[in-house]
Chain A
């Protein structure tokens, strides 16, 4: 006789109720999944199928759980509980499956919960890039290596950047934003290297254990995110995640952090500051006699995009194929879908390009020189380009011939053009053309609408970038989606990192499903 599904379920409920009444355990303190496990320990394999991260511990008969308890750590340890983290009366811990019953029975423990399965960004990325296989096959996970992060700072209290004993993994934290440039003289006013404020490993540990202060944080979160991807050890268990489940690429590396923003909360950096930050990390790693990998997830569209600017050359001085133990990684950028680059090749028959750009309606800033759009153009050292600019109402200014400068305050905003007035650029032997439209007077900001830049020559190639703008602006003709890797990823010796789509819909931490339109194609290149 076959049992119906309903009969089977009723049967299981009967068995369950019988078991409950038979041993008198406090099952109300166990969440249903743990209850199931306590009664059927052989189901541990099923329970653990989601635990595919970089596990180092032996979990054969142990599981990660969350506990609600007011008991102290020593008390819990006597019960066989290995505590990872305590926040208020919630602890994350690792326990033998066999202990679930008596833990539930213990009067000091209010509730035991199985961590919910959640997917984070690194769940696919880590195996996808082969980090898992490197870790498993070669046993390398960053131990003895410095990961340097030049970014918006770090949440130094975060468990992912702490060792098992709670001490910090951060060797040095240098903060350029505190106190920052207090008097506007471009010089940072802190007491330590490059005018920043420096915190050592010892000082951070003192702060972590309540006997010191580290006056630095990451209110933006970008630097913490980047550091987590690069080197998080997964020790944190926020949002119901089991400790040790999701980790960064080098979970055992040491960290040197430079908060390179000059202003708290800013996401902007300057070329000189990152050079200073690189120098700092290089010096500190040398003093520790450790190899390093520096990550910079930042960039700009200034420069010729050919690796010749001084800030790019600084990277090339520091690292390269003939310099062992030093690597600089730079993100390729975010401009793959932005209309900020135009290009063309002049010939006798095609000797003029009208490059249009659109300034959208905007709310002007109140001062002078604070509403502007700036274009940087580079053209061949063999060309002789002249340039004019046309306002939205068709009024033209120029032409400005090679080797000269031009400036005019117009009712549509001030126009400044420097057509290689210094001559050929000695770094790459090309000509550099700067075009800027700005508010010389606050009453005359750049007019919204379609402008034109008219370039004339009979030979050579030009590349024009909309490099900086305080308002929403974009190119509308001769747009070229190539050459959009940002500076300094264009340095010859940096490793420029792009990405591709490994996930095209997901649930965020607020429970909201993100499903972009149009849906990105899996394994297609991201928009860098």
Chain B
């Protein structure tokens, strides 16, 4: 009897914990790059989850019509692909849905890059 009550309590706690954490799937979490996760936290704080976010994602098989349909349902707008690497925009709230898709193996945010300068320019700048 005590064991059953304990089990129920444990299940209840786990259920509550899963609600609090937004039903996060550890396998999906693993596929999201840390920078993207940090960006999503900020989008959430700013209540901007409906806004688009730029992502790169990698797939483990050629995309079929079904895959494209799944992506479309999540408002994914694909820009380009080089092999299995895709560039796309997607509403921030749907990133976790993408991470749950089996054919997607990793999702990364866009990194910001700066123009590199030759030494002469940098030295002049210092001057």
A residues near B (Cβ < 8 Å) are 121, 151-152, 185-187, 194-195, 220, 222, 225, 267-276, 278-280, 282, 297-300, 302-303, 309-311, 313-314, 317-318, 331-334, 368-369, 374, 376, 405, 407, 416, 418, 420-427, 432-434, 436, 440, 468, 486-488, 499, 501, 506, 508, 514, 516, 520, 526-527
Q: Are B87 and A331 in contact (CB under 8 A)?
A: no
> Distance in Å from the Cβ of B24 to the closest Cβ of chain A?
9
Q: Which of B43-100 contact A (CB under 8 A)?
A: 45-46, 51-58, 77, 79-85, 87-89
Q: Are A272 and B114 in contact (CB under 8 A)?
A: no
Q: Given the complex, which residues of A lie within 8 Å of B52, measured CB to CB? A: 185-187
Q: Are A275 and B38 in contact (CB under 8 A)?
A: no
Q: Are B79 and A194 in contact (CB under 8 A)?
A: yes
Q: Are A220 and B115 in contact (CB under 8 A)?
A: yes
B residues near A (Cβ < 8 Å) are 26, 29-35, 37-38, 41-42, 45-46, 51-58, 77, 79-85, 87-89, 105-106, 108, 110-120, 122-124, 126-127
Q: Are B114 and A270 in contact (CB under 8 A)?
A: no
Q: How far is the CA of A431 from the CA of B115 in the complex (A)?
A: 29
Q: How far is the CA of A376 from the CA of B26 in the complex (A)?
A: 21
Q: Are A310 and B57 in contact (CB under 8 A)?
A: yes
20 A-B contacts (beta carbon < 8 Å): A186-B53, A271-B110, A272-B110, A278-B82, A279-B81, A279-B82, A280-B80, A297-B115, A298-B116, A299-B116, A309-B33, A310-B57, A310-B108, A317-B85, A405-B41, A422-B26, A422-B37, A423-B29, A426-B105, A527-B119
Given known A-B contacts A272-B54, A279-B82, A514-B123, A421 and B37 have beta carbons under 8 A apart: yes
User: Considering only CB atoms, which chain B residue lies closest to A260 in the complex?
Assistant: B113
Q: Given the complex, which residues of B lie within 8 Å of A426, measured CB to CB? A: 30-31, 105-106
Q: Given the complex, which residues of A lie within 8 Å of B41, measured CB to CB? A: 405, 407, 416, 418
**What would 11 more interface pairs be, CB under 8 Å, given A269-B115, A300-B114?**
A187-B77, A271-B110, A279-B80, A298-B113, A299-B116, A310-B85, A420-B34, A422-B31, A425-B30, A425-B33, A486-B113
Q: How far is the CA of A311 from the CA of B58 in the complex (A)?
A: 10
Q: Is the interface of A mostly helix, strand, loop or mixed?
A: mixed
Q: Are A333 and B116 in contact (CB under 8 A)?
A: yes
Q: Are B56 and A271 in contact (CB under 8 A)?
A: yes
Partner of A317, one of B38, B84, B119, B120: B84
> Distance in Å from the Cβ of A301 to the closest Cβ of chain B?
9
Q: How far is the CA of A220 from the CA of B37 in the complex (A)?
A: 33
Q: How far is the CA of A424 from the CA of B29 in the complex (A)?
A: 10
Q: Given the complex, which residues of A lie within 8 Å of B57, measured CB to CB? A: 310
Q: Are B37 and A418 in contact (CB under 8 A)?
A: yes
Q: Are B34 and A434 in contact (CB under 8 A)?
A: yes
Q: Are A520 and B120 in contact (CB under 8 A)?
A: no
Partner of B80, one of A268, A275, A313: A275
> Distance in Å from the Cβ of A527 to the closest Cβ of chain B?
7
Q: Given the complex, which residues of B lie within 8 Å of A527, measured CB to CB? A: 119, 122
Given known A-B contacts A186-B52, A499-B119, A526-B119, A271 and B106 have beta carbons under 8 A apart: no
Q: Are B116 and A334 in contact (CB under 8 A)?
A: yes
> Distance in Å from the Cβ of A255 to the closest Cβ of chain B?
18
Q: Are A369 and B85 in contact (CB under 8 A)?
A: no
Q: Are A434 and B37 in contact (CB under 8 A)?
A: yes
